[in-house]
Chains A and B, each alone.
Chain A
Amino acid sequence: MIKAQNVYKSFNGGRIKVLNGVSLEIARGDFAVILGASGSGKSTLMSVLSGLERADSGTVCFDGMEISGFNDKQLTEFRRKYTGFIFQQYYLLSHLSVENNVRLGADLAGNKDFREIIKAVGLEEKCKRKPSELSGGEQQRVCIARALAKKPQALFLDEPTGALDEQTGRDVLDYIVKLKREQGFTMIMVTHNENIAQMADTVIRINSGRIEEVIKNTSPKTAYEIGW
């Protein structure tokens, strides 16, 4: 599904080297966690794998397409068709209602059933509210609905529970994994939380822009079984 080979990425004209020859492979339908400390390059790796950014060198392939060679227009088209995002900071459109935030994703996929998704995340009664009128957990559920409404083949999550309390964080993770099982999309999550990594099928440990190890987890835990 996703294959990266010898990927390099740096910033500030090459002065800050973030990714130093990353190679990895993520299978279709996999739940992969990219685990690393702050500054290890995990978020940059996610950006490169998801087509938010281009690598300086190396190749990134998604379903056989070499997205690392795509221009801006092609990357836009790629993200439009294949990816969904959930961020730690939510990035909801503050002046739009829950419903219209979800439509941001739904309209791209021509998905007319977006109200079903709002219902599925338990926000049917709050679909006319603005994000500022929701709790952190509810806002993150809007993000989930927004991402899933575009029916992505790969869902990228950047510390999705970083701003949530334990109970809400567990509920959100449990909910995302449940949806993944139902819909079969590939999930790539970036986190520094070792406990969350226990839920994944594959754990990719990154340090100083290099892959340290890739662990296949034969018995992933549920969100309520892991420590916090």
Chain B
Amino acid sequence: MVVSIKDSVKLAGISVICFCAVFVCTFFINYCVDAAAVADSVTQEMSALYQGQLATAKFSCALSGGCLSLIAFVMLVFYIKLYIDGHGRQLGILKAMGYKNGEIALKFWVFGFGVLIGSALGCGAGYAAMPMIYSQMTVEGLTIPVKFHFWLPIAMIALPTLVFSALSCGYARFALGRDVGSMLKGEIKKSKALSDKKLSEQNKASKTEKPRAFLLDMGIKTLSSKKMLVFFIAFASFCFSAMVQMGGSMYDLNAAAMGPIILAIGLVLAVTVMMIAMTAVFNSNTKNLAIMKAFGYSARECAVTIFTGYIPFAFIGFGVGTAYQYAILRVMIDLFFKEYSLIFDFDVAIFFITLAAFTVFYAAVMLFYFLKIKQISIKAVMAEN
């Protein structure tokens, strides 16, 4: 029908997020289970570190697994909504022919396919990284052997796939609950018509108010029309800031091997989410940009209008990420490793290096989309219709 496996392949961002979540959870859960199996061998001297390592694993697993699953879900909802908006006419025809919303929604189970790929790869990578993680999370005098638990890969791969497939169908069922007419007309969503009284009031007000310049209004409306993208851009910046700084701080905390893992996950997440969000901003404005260019607006004016509004949110995300990583490390050290003389202070040098790297990264993304705007032509947009 309308939804195919090919469409689910486009969910690369969700696959990447699931990869990261399952990767982290696989080795930490395995570690917790293996560590619990040798609990009887833990002596009084080992107990504090043992409990600290176990708590770190549980805490990291719950935090990263939980947060990333939530983000993956939000992204899934966002993608399904975009998909239904973009395929309104085809889906509307199915509804007009008599297909029930539930019947159409069931076809959205294929969106779980992206989760399956990400989870399978993440689980494999988690097993590959396990020996190295175990060597980092040692307890002096205690041997924690790496053991294979058959239920873990099933839980890490099948469970997220099933849950996300079910959520896809459920949300699609909800999102399809629009009238057929508006879907056939290709309307993005039902725009509430203003009452004559309200229109009359607005018109009266508009005659006295100072009108907002087109570019300013266009920028504001672009930003407010897809608030979810603001969240994704802020989240990508958050990931970059939090995980790069946290990765750097790990060296100071004698957990050098964890540093590159956290840093790599942070960069992968930040780049993936940022590119998905920016691509969505770009794609949803292609026609508008084409008409602006046809009328004589320069590519620079177009890029500034569409993308500038997101900059403050990107740096707010960066700021929150900085505070978050400091708070998390502070809490972990104070709660789980208080008996060890670990010195941890806010690393100003790492902060400024990360800020500079983030600024370069963000500028590179802007430049990439500026070049894409330069290539838009009204002819190409007309040919699509």
Contact = CB atoms under 8 A, between A and B. Distances in A.
B298 A125 contact: no
B222 interface: yes
A43 B292 contact: no
B290 A91 contact: yes
Interface string A146-166: 100010000000100000000
Interface string A72-85: 11001111110111
Contacts of A146: 295
A24 interface: no
B202 A128 contact: yes
Interface residues of B, number: 40
Given A91-B291, A103-B214, A105-B295, A129 B221 contact: no
Contacts of A52: 294, 377-379
Contacts of A115: 207
A81 B194 CA distance: 36
A133 B203 contact: no
A2 B152 CA distance: 73
A47 B218 contact: no
A73 B298 contact: yes
Given A47-B379, A53-B379, A94-B188, A103 B296 contact: no
Interface string B158-198: 00000000000000000000000000000110010110000
A124 B297 CA distance: 26
Interface in A45-84: 47, 52-53, 72-73, 76-81, 83-84
A83 B203 contact: no
Nearest to A106: B214
For chain B, what secondary structure do more than half of its interface residues adopt (helix, strand, loop), or is it mixed? Answer: helix
A85 B299 CA distance: 18
Contacts of A126: 199
Contacts of B199: 125-126, 128-129
Contacts of B1: none
A93 interface: yes
A108 B295 contact: yes
A124 B214 contact: no
Contacts of B221: 95-96, 100
For chain A, what secondary structure do more than half of its interface residues adopt (helix, strand, loop), or is it mixed? Answer: helix
A104 interface: yes
A99 to B, nearest CB: 7
Interface in A8-25: none
B64 interface: no
B169 to A, nearest CB: 29
Interface in A96-146: 96, 99-100, 103-108, 115, 124-130, 132-133, 146
A6 interface: no
A128 B296 contact: no
Contacts, number: 102
A100 to B, nearest CB: 5
A104 B222 CA distance: 14
A31 interface: no
B214 A80 contact: no
A40 to B, nearest CB: 16
Interface residues of A, number: 44
Nearest to B301: A76
A89 B202 CA distance: 28
A128 B206 contact: yes
A133 B295 contact: no
A76 B298 contact: yes
A127 B205 CA distance: 12
Interface string B197-230: 0011011001100011111011001100100000
Contacts of A133: 191, 193-194
Contacts of B200: 125
A50 to B, nearest CB: 8
Contacts of A79: 294-296
A124 B202 CA distance: 11
A85 B295 contact: yes
Given A106-B214, A128-B202, 11 more contacts: A43-B382, A52-B377, A52-B379, A72-B299, A80-B296, A83-B296, A87-B382, A89-B382, A99-B211, A103-B211, A125-B200
24 contacts: A44-B379, A47-B378, A52-B377, A52-B378, A73-B298, A76-B293, A76-B297, A76-B299, A80-B297, A84-B295, A85-B295, A91-B291, A91-B378, A93-B291, A94-B188, A95-B221, A95-B222, A96-B221, A104-B295, A107-B213, A107-B215, A108-B295, A128-B199, A128-B202
Top 3 closest pairs, chain A to chain B, by CB:
A80-B296, A103-B214, A79-B296
